[in-house]
């Protein structure tokens, strides 16, 4: 992994941990303030929800990088290496297509909501939706790397 990719991976990991920790703190604070102090926080529900969305999409990036998504692997081990490489190429192309569609519509929804303010917070709803095209781009890059590896495996079989 090149230094820039390693830096990006560490940044995504740190952002995912921060999003999860922030979500946890928001929900925990809301429980404490609502049930023990009798004075609920008006912003913690909304922020916790938005952090959950970010955490989910950041987790998608991490899982794509680690190749740890759920997959159907029954019957794949017994196939010839060329067929396995073709399956891997097909899976990478499908992931790339999905990422492309999500990036396209994610950009549109983020742009449409950039001037919409959140209910209780100080930022735009577009910030919440910005993770969609960003995650799609990152996952698309991982899918391209997977496709390149599958093509290399196919090319190696021909020799």
The contacts of residue 81 (CB under 8 Å, 6+ apart) are: 153, 157
Structure tokens, 64: 């794509």
Looking at residue 59, what is its pLDDT? Answer: 95
Answer for the pair 100, 26: CB distance below 8 angstroms, yes or no: no
φ, ψ dihedrals at 113, nearest 5°: -105, 10
Residue with tokens 């910030």: 127
Nearest Cα to Cα of residue 118 among 69, 37, 64, 53: 53
For 79-95, give the secondary structure using H, E and C: CCHHHHHHHHHHHHHHH
User: Residue 85 class from Cβ within 10 Å (0-12 exposed, 13-18 middle, 19+ buried)?
Assistant: buried
The DSSP letter of residue 76 is: T
Per-residue confidence (pLDDT) for residue 85, from 0 to 100: 87
Q: pLDDT digit of tens for each residue in the chain (159 aa)?
A: 789 889 999 999 999 999 999 999 999 999 999 999 988 898 999 999 999 999 999 999 999 999 887 766 666 677 788 888 898 899 999 999 999 999 999 999 999 999 999 998 889 999 999 999 999 999 999 999 999 999 998 888 655
Q: Can you give the pTM of this predicted structure?
A: 0.86
Looking at residue 21, its pLDDT comes to 97
């Amino acid at each position: 992994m090149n230094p820039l990719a390693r830096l990006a991976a560490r940044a995504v990991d740190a952002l995912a941990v921060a999003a999860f920790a922030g979500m946890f703190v928001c929900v925990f604070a809301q429980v404490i303030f609502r049930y023990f102090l009798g004075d609920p926080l008006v912003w913690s529900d909304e922020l916790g929800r938005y952090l959950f969305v970010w955490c989910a999409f950041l987790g998608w990036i991490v899982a794509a990088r680690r190749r740890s998504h759920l997959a159907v692997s029954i019957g794949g081990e017994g196939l010839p290496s060329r067929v396995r490489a073709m399956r891997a190429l097909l899976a990478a192309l499908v992931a790339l297509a999905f990422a492309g569609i999500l990036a396209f519509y994610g950009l549109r929804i983020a742009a449409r909501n950039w001037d919409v303010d959140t209910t209780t917070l100080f930022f735009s709803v577009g910030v919440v939706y910005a993770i969609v095209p960003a995650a799609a781009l990152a996952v698309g890059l991982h899918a391209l790397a997977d496709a390149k590896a599958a093509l290399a495996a196919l090319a190696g079989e021909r020799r």
